[in-house]
């Protein structure tokens, strides 16, 4: 009969290590940790894209608002979209071809520098895409106008998250500036 050797009750000296259960447990913990970190990278990337789109929309809305403020009061014509809902809804459709500019061209708010007769603009920004800007001018009374500018990125998925609304009142009360008389 052949002699059988019994396994020692403890590990021989110099052969310490990890058991298979310990290695598998460590791998499971590591995998869950890596999954959480990869999710953070995805969220950070998404937030970065939205922040870039919102910054561009804010810059375009601010540019249009500044241009509307620079037009003489007498050149501001009531017009645009009938209400805020229509103004926001208009962001989902492209502006006419004559109202589309590249990032090297200034957005025009009127056919002349002293008049407002355009109420939409699309700007194609290199490396970012299209930002749509729409605005309205409402007459409050003879001496006061309300201006509302809305801008957002053109991709539908980013539009709601990157929308920017700017509003202001414009008044003219100085007879020296040919302001209309109060009623």
Does some domain include residue 26? no
**Residue 29: exposed, middle, or buried by beta-carbon count in 10 A (0-12, 13-18, 19+)?**
exposed
Does some domain include residue 95? yes
Range of the domain at 103: 34-177
Does some domain include residue 8? no
Give pLDDT tens digits for 27-67. Answer: 999 999 999 899 999 899 888 988 999 999 999 999 999 99
- Mean pLDDT, 10 residues at a time, over the chain (183 residues)? 60 72 93 92 89 92 91 86 82 85 83 83 88 91 91 81 92 79 69
pLDDT of residue 1: 54
pLDDT of residue 71: 87
Query: Which tokens sit at 93?
Result: 């459709």
pTM above 0.85, yes or no: no
pLDDT of residue 5: 64
pLDDT of residue 64: 92
pLDDT of residue 4: 66
Domain total in the chain? 1
Does some domain include residue 158? yes
pLDDT of residue 8: 57
């Amino acid at each position: 009969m052949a002699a059988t050797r019994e396994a020692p009750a403890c590990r021989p000296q110099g052969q310490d290590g990890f058991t298979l259960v310990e290695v598998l447990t460590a791998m499971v913990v590591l995998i869950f940790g890596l999954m959480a970190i990869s999710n953070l990278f995805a969220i950070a990337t998404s937030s970065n894209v939205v922040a870039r789109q919102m910054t561009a929309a804010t810059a375009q809305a601010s540019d249009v608002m500044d241009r509307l403020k620079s037009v003489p009061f007498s050149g501001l014509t009531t017009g645009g979209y009938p209400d805020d809902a229509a103004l926001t809804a208009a962001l989902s459709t492209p502006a006419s071809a004559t109202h589309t500019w590249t990032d090297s061209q200034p957005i025009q708010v009127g056919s002349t520098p002293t008049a407002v007769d355009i109420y939409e603009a699309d700007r194609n920004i290199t490396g970012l895409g299209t930002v749509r800007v729409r605005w309205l001018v409402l007459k409050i009374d003879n001496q006061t106008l309300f201006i509302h500018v809305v801008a957002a990125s053109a991709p539908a998925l980013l539009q709601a998250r990157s929308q920017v609304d700017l509003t202001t009142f414009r008044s003219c009360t100085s007879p020296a500036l040919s302001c209309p008389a109060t009623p």
